[in-house]
Amino acid sequence: MRYYRFGNPQGRFLGNTEKYSVYEKVISEQKHEMPAETYQNLPGELTFAYGPATGGLMESVAFNMHTPGEVIKHIEVDPYVKTRRLKVKGLTPRDALLMVERINGFHAASNAVAFEMAVEDALDIDVPEEVQYSRLIMLELERIRSNLEVVKRVCEPAGFGVPQNQIAYLRENVARIISRLSGHRYFFSASSVGGCQISKSGIETRIGGVRKEFQEIFDALLQSKIFLNRLQNNGNISEGSLLGPAARASGMKVDARLDEKLIPYRKLGFRPVIFDEPDAFGRFYVRSQEILASADMILEALDNNENSTEVDTAGMNGEGAARIESPQGDLFYYVKISDGRIDDIQMSSPSLLNIDAFRKSMAGNIFTDYHFNWESFGIWISELAVVMQ
Amino acid sequence: MSSIWFLNGLRKGIKTERYPSADPAAAPQWPSRLSGSDAGNCPVDAITSDGWIIEKCIFCRRCLPDYQPTGEQDIFTVKKAETAFRKSFHVFPLDSGACGSCNMEFLSIFSPQYDANRLGIFMVNTPRHADAIVIMGVMTPGMKEALDRAYEAMPEPRLVIALGACAVTGGIVGDAPLDREKYHVEIAGCPPSPYTVLAALNAARGGINSHTDSGWRSEEVR
Ligand code: SF4
Ligand code: SF4
């Protein structure tokens, strides 16, 4: 392992895998426990159950809200109702990738690239910088689409139908750009260990178009007092283990792209978007600014990127790890490879800490704020409700 | 302020394409109907001596160049259509264990490019108001009860629709939530594109997808 080592907990806590706790540079066998807080209703309070299956939720997840009426005193989230068991161990990295891409299909590029980089770390495979530029394009395009979806979903409960539809339109256009670039609307089978196969024809003007249209919508939303009122001071959270846009909204300068040594973010002068409002508005603001920033990075990266083909990993052995900044925050993979097959695979998803932050930020908020607040974290359940066997 | 958004909306004009009465403006290659023969190396055994099994395929491209994508989006089968839903068709999505992509493609049919509402197709938040349940993902033990309950809660007549390889056959991930004879409509793809989902839902209530013979091609709106 070139960038990670096993050791005692040190630095920022990023999440748990099935076996380990993950920090910025350390993997620890001492598990950072995250006890589920329980709540006993006081007289006059009741428990309101929502989910797991309802059209109002993107994925299956169950909530228990404890309330005396309007105010939510405590909320419990069960993200594990739809836990899938994926058979990954014993597969070659090439076959395992088909599974990894389907852990969270909406963030398939993030999962695929983090996994590929962990395998490359394990097997000492060097990937040329131009190919890492291609991966950067994939990751930032995925971030644009993901952030558009979050911003769109925040407009929805606010009753802002026009911008909601305009953003849905842009999100679909980005899906079409991704399809043009990678051959698949979700980047499935677009990258591999040692490489990346994308086509950039016609991408530049299309990205530029999305950037321009989003900037107009964003500026108009910032002019709307009603919209801002609904988001501001809703779901405050500035303490504890935060990551991704939620951390950056509360003023923390944390972003895996700052620590990245292989994907050339530094060469593009990457600087994270930091804000000082730790609420749903802050998260909306950071996500929006990141759409613009990612578009700019892609436009620059298009001058430098190249493709490469898959590397043969037959018979190889090693242990490696990698972490990247997915649209939701730090996403980590660890792999152990024996005789060219996956012996162990561990993944830590940012959903764990984001769900914890959402839960804490809800206490004291009212029912009507619940929807905005949940959407403002951009949480994906599929990435957490998964066991790799 | 609302009038500003109203004008803003008007200024952008109509972005909706005419599919399924005209050909798709931006049909993806993967997934689409494949054409070819004699390929090995399929990770899900979708290629057999009898040919390509559409519902098993996860569109991983490993059979290239023996099999090639045609761009055709009609990768679904309607075993039973319900014409009672011709005027309005209310569908309830249920995620029994999906990766998120099928969920997103289902939702995308309501984005302006596709605008399923214009065809009278609506999403509902509860199975009690649903004409059809759209199941996405593999079976997971925790979702079994929710699936059974949702099915029981639906009024008759009702349709059961499987969306995506996971729901139809288990795909590469696991086991399908229901036996295939329980499905009235099977939509292949991993995930199926919004074009495929829209055409399948339209056909499920007896609607005609005239794009193949209309010869009318809509422009991709950018
Ligand atoms: S594209 Fe489909 S048929 Fe071809 S190898 Fe992949 S799963 Fe098999
Ligand atoms: S069919 Fe494919 S895209 Fe759909 S849920 Fe299954 S793995 Fe995801």
* pLDDT recorded at residue B217: 38
Identify the CATH number of the domain in which residue B111 sits: 3.40.50.12280
Residue corresponding to tokens 């590397």: A311
Structural domain contains residue B140: yes
Cα–Cα distance for residue pair A92/A100, rounded to 1 Å: 12
Annotated domain spans of chain A: 5-35+83-388
Q: For residue range A360-376, what is the model confidence (pLDDT) as tens digits? A: 999 888 888 888 899 99
Which pLDDT belongs to residue B211?
64
Phi, psi (5° rounding) for residue A210? Answer: -65, -45
Q: Quickly count: other Cβ atoms within 10 Å of residue A292's Cβ.
A: 17
Residue B103 included in any domain? yes
Alpha helix positions (H), chain A: 93-100, 108-122, 129-155, 161-182, 203-222, 225-231, 244-249, 256-259, 280-301, 351-362, 367-377
Q: Which of B206, B167, B179, B222 is nearest to B87 (CA)?
A: B206
Per the listing, tokens 């649903």 go with B130
Burial class (CB in 10 A: 0-12, 13-18, 19+), A149: buried
Name the superfamily (CATH) of residues A5-35+83-388.
Cytochrome-c3 Hydrogenase, chain B (1.10.645.10)
Q: Using one digit for the tens of pLDDT, what is the confidence trace for B190-201?
A: 999 999 999 999
pLDDT digits (tens, 9 = 90+) for A37-49: 789 999 999 999 9
Within 13 A of A235's CA, how many CA atoms are on the CB side?
29
The number of folded domains in chain B is 1
| Closest ligand to Cα A59 | 2
Q: Which residues line ligand 2 (CB under 6 A)?
A: A 102, 105; B 98-99, 101-102, 136-137, 164-166, 171, 173, 190-191
The pLDDT of residue A34 is 85
Closest C-alpha to B133, from B158, B169, B157: B158
Q: Which ligand is nearest the CA of A386, by number?
A: 2
B214 domain residue, yes or no: no
Which residues constitute the domain of residue B95? 76-207
Give the integer Cα–Cα distance in Å for B60 and B52: 13
B161 located within any domain: yes
List CB contacts (< 8 A) between A56 and chain B.
Answer: 125
Task: Report the atom number in ligand 2 closest to the C-alpha of B191.
Answer: 3
pTM for this structure?
0.96
Q: Provide mean pLDDT across the span A251-261.
A: 95
